[in-house]
Structure 1
Amino acid sequence: MQAAFITESGPPECIQFGELPDPSPGSGEVLIKTEAVAVNPIDTYIRSGAIAMPRPDTYVVGCDVAGEVLEVGSGVDRFQPGDRVWGTNQGIHGRQGTFSEKVVAGAEWLYPIPNGVSSETAAAAALVSITVGLGLYQHAKLQSGETFFVNGGSGGVGSIAVQTAKAMGAKVITTAGSDDKAEYCRSIGADLVLDYRQADMDEQLNAYLEENGKIDLWWETLREPNLERTIPLMEKRGRVILMAGRDAKPVLPLGPFYTNDLSLIGFAMFNATSAEQLAVAEKINKLLANGALVPPIGLRLPLSEAAEAHRQQEAKTLEKSSPLLGKIVLSA
C-alpha cells in the first residue's frame, strides 16, 4: 500500500510517501480501506518531535480516518466488511497512524458513518468533534440556555464548538479575524461575533454581557490565555476549559475566581477512554446525520501531498500566516 510516513522526527520535508506492507487486522481490530483523512495540529507536533510519544520506527502520520471496512479480526462484532466507519485516536500511544491506503484500528476507536454523510465530512469532524464533545458533554456539562464563549469560531475546534453548543441550546459568542470568517461564524449559529482586530472588542463584549448575562462556559483556544481578562466576565459557578498553551503560565486572579465558585477544567482528548469517546461519538453522529454539525473543509489534497498538508497546517497553527478556513482533508 502507499503511505505517508516518517522514520525520524523533523520538519514536514521528513515525511516520505511510498510503499509499505499491507497491514492485517488482529484480534479486536478492523482493516479499513481509507477514503479520507484529516490533518490536526497534534499530527505536526508528533512528527516534529515537539510532543514525545512512543511510535513505530516506520511511523505513518495522522490520527483521523474515514473509509470502508475490508476485514475484521476475531472478536469484532460491531462491524463487518462493507460498513463505512470513521475514527480518530490513531497515531498516538504507540498506535500506527492513518495516512495510508489501508488502516488497521481497534474496533473500540471506530464509529459508523451516518447515511448521507461523506467520508470527507466524517474525517474532517473526527478528532475535533470528539475533543469538543468531551469538553461540552462530559467535562463542562454545558446546559441549554447557558452562555458559551470560544475564541476563534472559524477554526478547527472553534467551528465545531460553535455548532455543537448551539445544537445544545446555548447562546454562543465567538471571535473572528476577518469579515469572511465573521460571516461564516454567524452562518453556523453564533449569536455574537467579535472582531479581535478591533481595539474596542472588550467594550463590545461587556456591553453584550451587561444586557444578556455573563459567560457560563469559556472555552480557551489561545496559546497564551489571559485569565485576568477572562475571570471577571464569568457568571457565578462558571467554568473555564483550558486546552491550549502547553508552556503558558498565566496569572490567575484567585480572589474573584474562588469567591464566584468558578472552575478551571483541563483535559486532553487522548486521555479519554474508548468508552468515553464512544459515548461522545454517538452524540456527534446524531448531529452529523441531521446536518447540525458540518465541519468546514478549507483545503483538499491527495494523500501523496501529506508533507504539503503539514506545511499548511503549521502555517495556520504556529505561524498564524494562513488565511485558511477549515480543515485540511486528504483523499487516498
Structure 2
Amino acid sequence: MKAAFFTQTGAPEVIQYGDLPDPQIGPGQALVKIRAVSVNPIDTYIRNGAPYWPLPNPFIIGADFAGEVVQVGADVTDVKPGDRVWGSNQGLLGRQGSFAELAAIDAHWLYPTPKDVTDEAAAASALVGITAHLGLFQRAQLKAGETIFVNGGSGGVGSVVVQMAKASGAKVIATAGCAEKVAAVKALGADLVLNYKTDDIAAAVKAFAPEGVNVYWETVREPEFEKIVPLLAERGRIILMAGRDAKPTFPVGPFYVKGCSLLGVVMFKATPEEQRICAGDISRWLSNGMLKPHIGKVLPLSQAAEAHKLQEENTLRKSNTLCGKIVLKP
C-alpha cells in the first residue's frame, strides 16, 4: 500500500511517500480502506520529535480518517465489510497513523458515517470535533443561554466550537485575525466576531455580555490570563487545549474570588466510551447541517510533507495563509 511515513523525526522533509506492507488486523480490529484524512497540529509535533511516547518505525503519520471497512477481525460485531466509517486517535499513544491507503484500526474507534456526509467532511471533523465536544459538554458543561468566548474562531477546533456552541443554544463571541476570517466565523453563526488585531476586545465583550462570559475557550499556545480573567462571569470556566510548555502569568486573586475554573482537554486521553458519545452528536450535526467543517485545502496524500509545512506555517509562525482544515486523499 502507499503511505506517508517517516523513519526519523525532524522537519516536514523527513516525510516519505511510498510503499509499505499492507497492515494485518488482529482480534477486535477492522481493516479500513482510507478515503480521506486530515492534518492536525499534534501530527506535526510528533513528526518534529515531541517525546510523547515511543513510535513504531517506520511510523505512518496522521490521526483522522474516513473510509470503508474491508475486513473485520474476531470479536468485531459493530461494523462489517462495506460500512462507511470515520474516526480519529490513530498515530497517538504509539498506534500507527492513518495517512495510508489501508489502516488496521481498533473497532471501538470507528463510527458510522451518515449517508449524506462526505468522507472529506467526516475526516475534517474528527479530532477537532471530539476535542470541541469534550471541552464544551464534558468539561465546561456549557448550557443553553450561556455566553462563550472563542479565542480563534476560524481555526480547526475554534470553528467547530463556534458551531457546536450555537447548536446547543449558547451565545457565541469569537475572534479572528483578518477581515476574511471574521466574515468566515460570522458565516458559522457566531453572534459577535471581533478582529483581535484591531478591535477593543474588552470593551466589545462588556457591551455584549455585561456580566461577563460563562466559558472562555482558548486555542492559542500562550494564554494571556491577565486579559482573560476580567472577561469571565462569576463561576466562569476557561478551557485550555494547547500550551504544553507555556508558563504564563496568572492572576490568582481575581480568578478565585469569582469562583472560576480552569479546565484542560486532551482528546486522546478520553475513553472510547466518552469519545463515542461525542461521535454520535458529531455525526448527527454533520447530517442535519448544523456542523459544517471548514476545509481550507484539499491535497493528494502524496503531498503530506507540503501539508505539514502549511500547517506549521499557520500553527507556529502565524502566517495566516490557511483558513480551515487541510484534507488529503489517498
Identify the TM-score tier after normalising by the shorter chain. Answer: over 0.9
Give 1:169's aligned amino acid.
Answer: G
Aligned ranges 1:238-317 → 2 under 5 Å? 238-317=236-315
Q: Which residue of 1 aligns with 2:221?
A: 223
TM-score by length of 2: 0.98
1:61-96 deviation digits (Å, cap 9, x = unpaired): 000110010001110000000000001000011110
Question: After the TM superposition, which of the residue ranges 49-58 and 110-119 deviates more from structure 2?
Answer: 49-58
Looking at structure 2, the residues matched to 170 and 198 of structure 1 have their Cα atoms a distance apart, in angstroms, of 25
Cα distance in 1 for partners of 2:239, 2:118 equals 31
- Equivalent residue, structure 1, for 2:120: 120
Q: Which stretch of the first structure deviates more once superposed, 40-49 or 228-237? A: 228-237
Q: State the SS of the aligned residue for 1:198.
A: coil
Verify the 8 A CA contact 1:54 1:92 in the aligned structure 2.
Answer: no
**CA–CA distance in structure 2, aligned partners of residues 172 and 267 of structure 1:** 20
2:51 & 2:145 partners in 1: Cα distance?
38
Instruction: Give, in angstroms, the shift of residue 269 of structure 1.
Output: 0.9
Map of 1:168 onto structure 2 = 168
Q: Structure 2 CA distance, aligned partners of 1:112 and 1:120?
A: 14
- Structure 2 distance, partners of 1:222, 1:284, is 24
Instruction: Provide Cα deviations, 1:147-183, integer angstroms capped at 9, x if missing partner.
Output: 0011111100000000000000000000011111111
1:298–1:328 Cα contact (<8 Å) kept: yes
Between the aligned partners of 2:134 and 2:201, the Cα distance in structure 1 is: 29
Q: 1:199 to 1:134 in 2, by over 3 A?
A: closer
Deviations 1:85-141 (A, max 9, x none): 001000011110000000111001110001200000000000000000110111111
Residue 199 (structure 1) shift: 5.3
Unmatched 5+ stretches in structure 1: none
Q: Partner residue of 1:100?
A: 100
Deviations 1:193-230 (A, max 9, x none): 011111533322222222xx310000111211111111
What are the equivalent positions in structure 2 for 1:173-252 lying under 5 Å apart?
Answer: 173-198=173-198, 200-210=200-210, 213-252=211-250
What code does the residue aligned with 2:80 have? Q
Trace 1:6-155 onto structure 2 (pairs within 5 A).
6-155=6-155
- Residue 51 of structure 1 and its aligned partner are, at CA, apart by 4.1
Question: CA–CA distance in 1 between the matches of 2:101 and 2:293?
Answer: 23
Aligned partners of 2:31 and 2:104 also within 8 Å: yes
| C-alpha distance in 2 between matches for 1:71 and 1:293 | 30
Asked if the contact 2:131–2:265 (Cα under 8 Å) also holds between the matched residues in 1, the reply is no
TM-score, length basis structure 1 = 0.97
- The one-letter amino acid paired with 2:208 is Y
Residue aligned with 1:133, SS: helix
RMSD (CA atoms): 1.0
Q: How far is the alpha carbon of 1:300 from its aligned partner?
A: 0.7
C-alpha distance in structure 1 between counterparts of 2:250 and 2:296, whole Å: 36
Q: Give the counterpart letter for 1:39 in structure 2.
A: V
Seq. identity, %: 56
User: 1-side partners of 2:207 and 2:166: how far apart?
Assistant: 21
CA distance in 2 between counterparts of 1:39 and 1:299 reads 10
Shift in Å, 1:187: 0.9
Superimposed CA distance per residue, residues 244-290 of structure 1 (whole angstroms, 9 cap, x where no aligned partner):
21121122222221221111101211111111111111111111111
Mapped to 1, the partners of 2:155 and 2:134 lie a distance apart of 18
Residue 137 of structure 2 aligns with an amino acid whose one-letter code is Y
Match of 1:158 in 2: 158
Residues 205 and 212, structure 2, Cα contact 8 Å, conserved in 1: no
CA distance in 1, matches of 2:221, 2:108: 32
Q: Deviations over 1:38-58 (max 9, x none)?
A: 000000000110243221111
Aligned residues: 330
Contact 1:215–1:235 (Cα < 8 Å) also in 2 = yes
Aligned mates of 2:222, 2:90 — CA distance in 1: 28
